[in-house]
Amino acid sequence: MSQLLTTLIAQVRADYLDLMETGGGRYPYTTAEKLCNDQLYLEADALAQFVAEDPTLLAARRGVLVVSESEQENPSVGMIISANIAAAMMEGLIDIALESGWLSLGDDGRLQLDAEELALPELAVTDVDYSHSQTARDNLVRPGNSLLTEVMNRAESAYLERLKGAQQNPYMLALEVASEYSLFAPDDIAPLVEENPLLLGLRGDGMVDEALFEGDPPAGMIISAHLTQMVVSQLLEVAVEQGVLGTDSSGHPLLPGNDSDEPVIH
């Protein structure tokens, strides 16, 4: 666990203890839920720093943890990660409440909330807009190539080299090269997220084979799928420029057969 996350968890825990002690132990579940909602759904730039320190956060999956109606079906990478952090913290705070006697378990093992707390209105679900990032803006005007540009350049160089005398059709070759130069490991993806936190706003969009992860791909794999698509698109533009691939009336590359769909990670 990163130092940033360790510090944040300790702060939320301390805040919970303070609120519960000053409030006489009232509303233990609701207090925990509100703290998690308020403090653990971070903005893009802040969350990117957590990912940079702890790339394993990119292994997080949606599961049943994303409760926002607008995010449930196709949540962003940032929402998946935040929901997992919040769920883990919620478990920790509930343990504190049980140990302190603020909450108890029934005979069926379920949490018992008193009538007063059950009557409280349901808390609003936290939504975060990951389409804004000052870090991304700052890095956009920074001298030199971005990490993503470096990946694209390496893939393009390899593609151009293998196009020479290639028997394989340009589209299939683009898919092959893209798969070789795309990033899949969390340790490789995290630096790109740190450089461009807008990647946290990416969504699955059906780009990862449903059977591969039982319809619930890790957050990092969602980013990988989008990066792969970007590399493929770039390589197809190169193929058009080299005159080995035609275009339709709209200027889009002509793809063979049924391969006109976006690439899907298998």
Distance of CA 64 to the CA centre of its chain: 15
Q: What is the pLDDT of residue 258?
A: 47
CB-side exposure of 214: number of CA atoms within 13 Å?
A: 3
Distances (CA, A) of 265 to 18, 176, 198, 227, 229: 47, 12, 21, 11, 9
Indicate the pTM of the whole model. Answer: 0.90
Q: What is the pLDDT of residue 263?
A: 58
Show the CA angle centred on residue 121, arms to residues 30 and 86, nearest 5°: 35
Cα–Cα distance between 172 and 213 in angstroms, integer?
Answer: 24
Distances (CA, A) of 104 to 17, 90, 109, 126: 17, 15, 9, 27
- With contact defined as beta carbons under 8 Å apart, do 167 and 21 qualify? no
Distances (CA, A) of 103 to 94, 108, 119: 8, 14, 16
Cα–Cα distance between 64 and 230 in angstroms, integer?
Answer: 29
- With contact defined as beta carbons under 8 Å apart, do 248 and 254 qualify? yes
Q: What is the pLDDT of residue 265?
A: 56
Residue 104 in 3-state DSSP?
Answer: strand
- With contact defined as beta carbons under 8 Å apart, do 220 and 240 qualify? no
Q: What is the pLDDT of residue 260?
A: 46
Distances (CA, A) of 185 to 57, 158, 190, 218: 12, 21, 9, 11
- Alpha helices (H) along the chain: 3-22, 28-39, 44-53, 77-100, 115-118, 134-140, 147-163, 170-181, 186-195, 219-241
In terms of Cβ atoms closer than 10 Å to its own Cβ (0-12, 13-18, 19+), residue 132 is middle
Cα–Cα distance between 32 and 20 in angstroms, integer?
Answer: 9
- With contact defined as beta carbons under 8 Å apart, do 66 and 75 qualify? yes
Residues of the chain with pLDDT under 70: 166, 257-266
